[in-house]
Amino acid sequence: MSQDALPLSLERARLFGALAVLAAGIVWSSGGLLVRATQNDTWSILIWRSLAAAAAIALVLAVQRRGRLWPAFRELGWLAPLGGLFVAVSMSSFVFALQRTTVFNTLMMLSMAPLMAAALGWLVLREPVRRTTWIAIAFAILGVAVMVWDGLRTDGLTGNLMALLAALCFAGFTVLSRASPRQVTTPCVVVGGLLGSAAAAILALSEGAALWIGWTDLWLCLAMGFAQIGFGFVLYTWGAQRLPAAEAALLAMTEVVFGPIWVWLVYAELPSEHAMVGGLILLGAVAYQAVSGLRRQRPPVGLV
């Protein structure tokens, strides 16, 4: 390969990586719309959504590992169940939040996960945190405070708090990924899906809820597991390998932008004015953090 051709190939790789991450964000943004389309109760939906997500990621892992799945879990040791617990709570809280507040509020709260991961990394792993990150965290807290206050006014407090819990658990999973010697914690997503599905089934039975959700909701759950989570994961991991992590995180924010648009187009769902203000403050803080780190090389943070 000539010296002139090398930069061009790298530039193409970066371009395709950026397009893949953009597409991943758009695919992920369909989550709120798909949950809105379901008709069954939360536990029943969680059973099949979590199981489909586990199956989708297990399929991806089987392809990556050429069918050798068990060694991938064994190599992680105790990190697999702990990471799986973080993923299970995050996935479950996300669905609960969507059923108790707007998609806009849920996604805005969830977008805080990278900032939470930075703070947890500083607290647990003693990772250095830049001044710009602390500034972003301060503004993000302001945005969250506005949205929580709005939740008190509009009966959306529970949904906002559940969305915050989802963000916090995903941040915990991110820090766990950084702490792992291999920094490959994809098996945790499979464990999380299985744990979430089993827990939802137990709770559904204890409340007398139905386990079977009908074919329409089943197809929606399969779409969430295989298309929204699984295909989005493949796009993001492929693209993020070709980009600086900060750039990938910024491009993946298409999830936060497009998610509320889909439910507005289909269900005419809009956030309150105060929630909009708080959400934009929060989104601005996350975007500021991502832009400020564009020239810094950091490991990808995993599945959002």
- CA dist 92 and 112 (Å) reads 17
Report yes or no: 148 and 277 within 8 Å, Cβ to Cβ: no
- What is the C-alpha to C-alpha distance for residues 164 and 145, in angstroms, rounded to an integer? 11
Find out whether 271 and 102 touch, Cβ atoms under 8 Å: yes
Residue with tokens 């601005």: 284
The letter for the amino acid at 189 is V
Which tens digits make up the pLDDT trace of 99-109? 999 999 999 99
pLDDT number for residue 294: 64
CB 50 within 8 A of CB 88: yes
Query: Residue 98 above 50 pLDDT?
Result: yes
- pLDDT, residue 178, reads 80
- Express each pLDDT in 223-263 by its tens digit: 999 999 999 999 988 888 887 766 777 888 899 999 999 99
pLDDT of residue 13: 80
Q: Which pLDDT band holds residue 73 (cuts at 50, 70, 90)?
A: confident
Asked if residues 29 and 258 have their Cβ atoms less than 8 Å apart, the reply is yes
Distance CA 29, CA 24 (A): 8
* Start-to-end Cα distance in the chain: 37
Rounded distance between C-alpha atoms, residue 239 and residue 59, angstroms = 19
Give the span between the Cα atoms of 29 and 23, in whole angstroms. Answer: 10
Residue whose token pair is 């069954």 = 40
Longest Cα–Cα distance in the chain: 68
Confidence tier at 216 by pLDDT (50, 70, 90):
very high
pLDDT digits (tens, 9 = 90+) for 146-174: 998 888 877 788 999 999 999 999 999 88
Mean pLDDT rounded to a whole number for the chain: 87
Residue 18's pLDDT is: 87
- CA dist., res. 194 & res. 85, Å (int): 10
Neighbour count for residue 5 (Cβ, 10 Å): 9
Between 90 and 250, the more confident residue is 90
Angle of helix 103-110 relative to helix 79-98, nearest 10 degrees, comes to 150
pLDDT, tens only, 12-70: 888 888 899 999 999 999 999 999 999 998 999 999 999 999 999 999 889 888 878 88
Tell me, what's the pLDDT at 297?
47
| CA gap 124, 144 in Å, rounded | 23
CB 240 within 8 A of CB 300: yes
Q: Is 130 left (phi over 0), alpha (psi -120 to 50) or beta?
A: beta
Question: Could you read off the pLDDT of 261-288 as tens digits, one per residue?
Answer: 999 999 999 998 899 999 999 999 988 8
pLDDT at 182: 62
